[in-house]
Structure 1
Amino acid sequence: MDYRLIHFNCARPTGEFTFDNEFVHVFLAILPRIFSDADTFEGIHWHRHGLRQPDGRWRDLGDAFPYATDLGVPDVCTMAGWASLEDMRSFVYNGRTHPSGMRRLQEQLDRSQGPGFVMWWAPREERFTMEDGWERLTHLRENGSSPYAFSLDQPIVRPQVA
Structure 2
Amino acid sequence: MTAHELAQVNIARLKAPLDTPLLKDFVDNLDPVNADADAAAGFVWRLQSDDGDATAIPVFDDPWLIVNLSVWRDTDALTAFMYQGRHREMLSRRREWFERVEEAMTALWWVAAGHRPDVAEAEARLVHLRTHGPTPYAFTLRTSFPPGADELAPAAPVGDKSRTGD
TM-score normalised to structure 1 length = 0.77
Could you tell me which residue of structure 2 aligns to residue 124 of structure 1?
113
Cα deviation digits, residues 110-149 of structure 1 (max 9, x gap): 2335111100011103231112111111111121111111
For 1:27 and 1:141, how far apart are their aligned partners in 2?
27
For 1:154 and 1:52, how far apart are their aligned partners in 2?
28
What amino acid is the match of 1:52? P
Could you tell me which residue of structure 2 aligns to residue 17 of structure 1?
17
Closer, same or farther in 2 for the Cα pair 1:116/1:53, shift >3 Å? Answer: closer
Cα deviation digits, residues 84-110 of structure 1 (max 9, x gap): 10000000012x210001211234422
For 2:59 and 2:123, how far apart are their aligned partners in 1?
12
Could you tell me which residue of structure 2 aligns to residue 52 of structure 1?
58
For 2:63 and 2:99, how far apart are their aligned partners in 1?
10
SS of the residue corresponding to residue 129 of structure 2 reads helix
> How many residues are matched?
141
For 2:17 and 2:139, how far apart are their aligned partners in 1?
29
Greater displacement, 30-39 / 109-118: 109-118
Whether the 8 Å contact between 1:53 and 1:74 is mirrored in structure 2 is no
What amino acid is the match of 2:104? P
Closer, same or farther in 2 for the Cα pair 1:126/1:119, shift >3 Å? Answer: same
Aligned structure 1 segments of 4 or more residues deviating by more than 4 angstroms: none
Larger relative CO (CA 8 A, sep 6+): 1 or 2?
A: 1
Gaps of 5+ in 2: 48-53, 150-166
For 1:47 and 1:99, how far apart are their aligned partners in 2?
18
SS of the residue corresponding to residue 9 of structure 2 reads strand
Gaps of 5+ in 1: 57-71
TM-score normalised to structure 2 length = 0.76
Could you tell me which residue of structure 1 aligns to residue 104 of structure 2?
115
Matching of residue 38 in structure 1 with residue 37 in structure 2: yes
SS of the residue corresponding to residue 145 of structure 1 reads coil
Q: CA RMSD in A?
A: 2.1
